[in-house]
Structure 1
């Protein structure tokens, strides 16, 4: 179950939970300039507090069809330890992850929206991740970086063993 605490948009999830993000949607024909469009980013803590995605953030989704024929856009984030996708993101229990929105470039001046997601550790496990995620200390914050590295390493090993 997801809860918001003390006016701060914060959600606590478990591993293998899904979080659905629904984009603004307009059924009627409002004026084009009043339709909300956002770009959603996953950022580190510094990017979250400053609401600045250019500081260690990456684009996660784009809400760019506020009146599309198929209804509102929905994006789902699955909080999993491992992902089979090279561009997927892996989450660790006991860590917080940060999302911010940036208005679409044609709609500058709108407020920055923020969401903090805490991934709960399993009950009683005291799990602590062996490596930091979404930190300023290195490239480990990038989505699927370890997966991509493993794929590249296996391809190189296969290439050299074939020669």
Structure 2
């Protein structure tokens, strides 16, 4: 797996506006969701990505890395039941093991526009210690975080796909917490994270760093 690319940290109080690398080209009509690999591609294109096809994948990140999620997208029209749509959840360890988002899980993103004329939907997760946003999520070094996919209601049921993200420890980890932290009292879930992938069938994760 290619090593994460790093960008210098922005100065305090300034927003980092440096451009991110474009994702690698995706073969026509292939839906995707993965870090440095594509889900749903033939094995010949993915080398060692057999686990992708079984719907489970693991990736390591560092604090201030980004994970970019590109939803399935189709350039040519297809019947609605053939276009893949997903609801992506962040869950606890039990929810990941059982692929059940009701296990203290919450909806993170929804891939619901596979035929958008503007290209694939893109979401980003930044693995940061602190967030300025009231509903933001804060991550801790040395812990694992879990994501799964589910089919939207009243849509064709597709296999559950899972991603485990391990945040590497840092040299100055005095501020580490045993559990991930929500910054809002209204947030619902605390996630169990034993120490130690989405790629999601068709979705693409690109690992970047700030």
Listed as ranges, the gaps of 5+ residues in structure 1 are 134-139, 149-163
Task: Return closer, same or farther for 1:35/1:147 CA change in 2, 3 Å cut-off.
Answer: closer
Provide the residue aligned with 2:61 in structure 1: 13
Alignment partner for residue 87 of structure 2, among 35, 39, 62?
Answer: 39
Provide the residue aligned with 1:118 in structure 2: 166
Provide the residue aligned with 1:23 in structure 2: 71
Provide the residue aligned with 2:150 in structure 1: 102
Alignment partner for residue 177 of structure 2, among 123, 130, 138?
Answer: 130
Counterpart-to-counterpart distance in 2, 1:12 and 1:3: 11
Q: Do the aligned partners of 2:85 and 2:151 also contact (CA within 8 Å) in 1?
A: yes
Deviations, residues 70-123 of structure 1 (Å, cap 9, x unaligned): 10001000000000001111000000000000011122421001000000012x
Provide the residue aligned with 1:145 in structure 2: 184
Task: Return closer, same or farther for 1:61/1:98 CA change in 2, 3 Å cut-off.
Answer: same
TM-score by length of 2: 0.60
- SS of equivalent residue, structure 1 residue 105: coil
- The count of corresponding residues between Structure 1 and Structure 2 is 139
Task: Return closer, same or farther for 1:74/1:110 CA change in 2, 3 Å cut-off.
Answer: same
Q: C-alpha displacement at 1:128, in angstroms?
A: 7.3
TM-score by length of 1: 0.76
Alignment partner for residue 137 of structure 2, among 89, 96, 100?
Answer: 89
Larger Rg: 1
Q: C-alpha displacement at 1:6, in angstroms?
A: 8.1
Q: Structure with the greater relative contact order (CA < 8 A, sep ≥ 6): 1 or 2? A: 2
